[in-house]
Structures are given as structure tokens and as C-alpha cells.
Chains A and B, each alone.
Chain A
């Protein structure tokens, strides 16, 4: 196994994210989305991605807005107070430019976990009797034509253990195995062992259900530093294909212990996202008009802004930050 997996972001995206790839990204709504990687995917004009999302707010919205996504399994498209429903996701769903299929957050988590476990499905009681079970975004014919899709959205089954655990029926949700998953973590070593601080969301399950895993990290650290406290590490190197150090790689979403969500940038994004022409301007100026994340951050106030959102070491977030 490769001992040094460090790559540039451009090379990692070019190598592992292709037109039509099945993909998932880490983080949740406004926290620890791999935004530098998302922007690089948009810059490389990768198309027809099948995105698997639980609540990947900002990252999912930008991938959709950037024209990279054609199919989407999703539980929640929102970015907290900044967008109760993600704006470009809403537009794309309403205008039919993407195909959408709905799940719950627990179901998406179980689907990633099933993929990581190597089982075809996992059971839950979530969603019995609802339209999440009854209404499919992808009909059976579409599924039958695509060998990368399970033949059904989900299956309701009588409990084969005769009511054991006081349960009459379960819903079976199919495993997800993505071609590539991208996570942004606080620390990784060159070999790919990763440490996430704060909430892990479904990152670990997502990472382990992927054929290829790209990590972007705030800090590239010595292997020994991570191995002195292996109980604090979340992903062992054996799952990982590429390690890309990207300072502020989750920006404008938060990275616990490092920096907060940048409200200024998020509100600014919401303003651009509401109008098609303005969104085109956003893409040209902030994504295609810059060569990398350093330049993107420079357009958003640069170091002075990074100082403002820097996390208080005790709290993990920026105390008394203006967020209205």
C-alpha cells in the first residue's frame, strides 16, 4: 500500500471524480463540508454526478448550482438559518434539471453503513406508512437499465422473527457504494489516517462505503502524533486514496476547533443564489475566476476575515461572532 498519498487537490479530483461518478461528500448543513473540493469539481466542469446526501447543505447546493449533478438521493436540502431550503437545490428540483429521490437522515446513514459493512441492505422502522416508502424518484424501469442502481428504492417486509422486539414490519434500505467520497477532516497524516474533531456526522460510514476516498485536511501531521492516541482517530489509512492538505478547506462552512461558519459569506451566497443571472456571476467570479481556495478566500476578505471567524480554542467556535 502507498505510504505517501499526498496529492494536489486538482490532481486528486481529476484522478477520482469523473463524469457520471457516484459521489458523496462529508459534513452536515453548514459544518465541515469539503468546500475546496466542491469548488474544484465545479472548476473542472465535471458533469452528471449522482450525489448521495443526508443533509449536505452548502456543498450539495453548490455542486447542484455548478451544474455538476444530475441525480440526487437526499434526506435534507437546507443550510440552517442561511437557507431553510437550499436555494439552488430548490430551483433545480422545481425546474426538473435534476432528478431527486427522498430518504430520511437515518435511512441515508444506514445505507452508507450497509455499503461499509458489505451487506445489501439494513432494516429500520423509520418511514413506515409514509410517502418516503410509497413515492419513488426513480421508477423501476430506470433502475433496471442502470447496473449501478438497486432495483428498488426500499422494501417493506414483515418481521421474519415473528414480532421479536415488538416489531411487525421493517423497511429495508439498500446499500450505497460510491465511486468516490470526499471528506474534510481536521488532521491527517501522509498515509491517510484521519482524526475528526467534534461531530463526525456520517463521515466515517460514508468514507468506508466508497471505492475511493479523498481526504482534505486542515493540518497534515506526523504519523506519530496521530498514533500516540489512536483512540482519537476515526479513519484508518487503509480506506484512503488521496490526502490533500487544504487550509480552511471547509470554508465558508465551519471546521470545529479551527474556524466558524462565515455568516458574511453564507448570506452573500444566498443573495447570489436567488437569481439565475447573479448566480452565473457568482460562479464566474468566485469559482471559475479563481485558481484555488486561497484565491477564493482572498475574495472573501482574506486573512482579516479568517481572523474574525477563528475558533476560540476553549469553545471550538468564534465567540460573539456577528451572525445575523
Chain B
């Protein structure tokens, strides 16, 4: 999952990530295909020199040798700035996702008396509202790929092709969903999720069995597994202390 996301990051991208595998993907990209990508944290650290894995976006490790170490206001205005914002790619995770890539990180069940309470938006909604490209990490499970979200925390393509514009959001939105079984992308016209690839040994049927809604599978190809070199980079250079892997 991490390597698939890392490959999606382009040189020159400003990568907005959280912690865990999204952070690992951003670190791996710098070693593999996007050495000039810039890591960026909502807490205000830009282009941190990460010698160790931070365990939160506020971990003191993100402050070391950063270009600037400011605060939330500066961070979010960098992201929503019409000039720099164009280069930002977001990486998010969620409890639930729908056909259009809208996500829920807030509650399962009723909002006032939730069955399960999650952390909430954090900066997730701010990223999703603005950035031109966004990767979403998910576990491939029926209860997570749902027809209707219990709570729409962060906007994807809303209800389809013109959805973001109608809502008043900037163009863009999610471009890719990466799970433990497969990779999805979004159709240019309908903005619906489609299956773009399965991991080696995984069938399209297996993927669909783990979703409440069905998606177009006609464009699915086998996703290339990580190379030995890519794995070495992850293990030796990104997370030698094995805090995430």
C-alpha cells in the first residue's frame, strides 16, 4: 500500500500527510521517484528533515531543520493558497468511503449518540476541500465501502461530475484509493470510483465481495508489487526502528 502511494507522488509535489503509512509513503517517495517532493504538516512544519519517524504530526521530529516551523494558520493558508495549493497532494485515511470518494472519519451511527466515535476531521476536511489531488488509504471491508456514509466529514466528488462545483468547492478531489487488496481511481466523466488494479493473487470478485457498492472493473490490471529495492528503502531508510511497518 505504501509503495503504491509513493509511486503516485510526483517530483515537485507538496505532500500533505498524517502519520502512519501516509507519512511512510511520503518518505519513500523522496527516496524513490520524487526526491524534490516537499513534506508538509498541518501543524506548520514545511520540508522537515525526518531522521526518525514522527508518531504524530505535532511530534518534535517534524520541526527539525524544517524550512519554517510556524502554526496551523500558516499551514492551512499554504494549502489553500491559490498558487502553492496547486502543487499539494493530500493523503488521508477513513473509517468509511462512498462511490464518489467522500469519506467519514467522525462517527458510526447517530451523531449525537454514536455507536463508535472516531477522531473527527482534524485537517482532513480542510485538505479534501481544497487540494487538486488526494490519495485515500482504506481497509478493503464491506462495512467501510458503503452506499451511504454515516457522516460526511471530508468531501470527495460529492454526488458526481459537477458535485464539487455545485457545493462551492475547488476542482480536484480524490484521485486514488489504495486498500490492502486493490487500487481504485475515479472516472474523468462520472467521478465514480472504478477498480484500477488488484494486487497479485487477488481477483476482482474478491475485491467486490468486500464492498457494499459495485464498481466498474473493466479497467483493472494487476498492480505491480514492490521491488526488492523499494522494500529495502522502506525498511532501511524510512522506518529502521519498525514503528510503522
> A: which residues have CB within 8 A of B?
27-32, 54-55, 57, 74-82, 84-86, 89-90, 93-94, 96, 100, 102-107, 109-110, 113, 124-132, 134-135, 137, 156, 165-170, 198-205, 254, 256-257, 260-261, 263, 311, 315-317, 319-320, 323-324
Contact, CB under 8 Å: A130 / B63: no
Question: Beyond A129-B155, A130-B155, A167-B168, is A80–B130 a contact (Cβ under 8 Å)?
Answer: no
In the complex, whether B243 has a CB less than 8 A from a CB of chain A is yes
Of B42-50, B175-183, B206-214, the segment with at least 4 beta carbons within 8 Å of chain A is B42-50
Contact, CB under 8 Å: A317 / B112: no
Chain B contact residues: helix, strand, loop or mixed: loop
Distance in Å: Cβ of A171 to nearest Cβ of chain B? 8
A76 to B64 alpha-carbon distance, docked (Å):
24
A110 to B126 alpha-carbon distance, docked (Å):
12
Residues of B close to A113: CB separation below 8 A: 73
In the complex, whether B69 has a CB less than 8 A from a CB of chain A is yes
**154-181 of chain B: CB within 8 A of chain A:** 154-155, 158, 163-170
Question: Beyond A54-B72, A85-B117, A96-B113, is A169–B56 a contact (Cβ under 8 Å)?
Answer: no
10 A-B residue contacts at CB 8 Å?
A: A32-B58, A80-B19, A80-B59, A94-B117, A105-B72, A125-B130, A168-B165, A315-B51, A315-B61, A323-B55
Contact, CB under 8 Å: A127 / B73: no
Total chain B interface residues with beta-carbon distance under 8 A: 63
Q: Beta-carbon contacts of B103-128 to A below 8 Å, as 1s and 0s?
A: 00011000111111111111111100
Distance in Å: Cβ of A170 to nearest Cβ of chain B? 8
Contact, CB under 8 Å: B115 / A128: no
Question: Beyond A30-B59, A78-B122, A81-B56, is A199–B169 a contact (Cβ under 8 Å)?
Answer: no
Contact, CB under 8 Å: A79 / B120: no
Residues of B close to A205: CB separation below 8 A: 71, 73
Instruction: Considering the complex, give the chain A residue whose CB is closest to the CB of B163.
Output: A129
Task: Identify 6 new A-B residue pairs, CB closer than 8 A, beyond the known A124-B80, A317-B64, A324-B241.
Answer: A96-B112, A125-B169, A129-B163, A135-B151, A315-B51, A315-B64
Contact, CB under 8 Å: A165 / B58: no
Chain A contact residues: helix, strand, loop or mixed: loop
Distance in Å: Cβ of A75 to nearest Cβ of chain B? 6
Residues of A close to B118: CB separation below 8 A: 84-85, 90
Question: Beyond A90-B117, A200-B44, is A128–B167 a contact (Cβ under 8 Å)?
Answer: yes
Question: Beyond A80-B56, A105-B121, A130-B154, is A198–B71 a contact (Cβ under 8 Å)?
Answer: no
A29 to B166 alpha-carbon distance, docked (Å):
35
Residues of B close to A254: CB separation below 8 A: 58-60
Residues of A close to B73: CB separation below 8 A: 109-110, 113, 202, 205
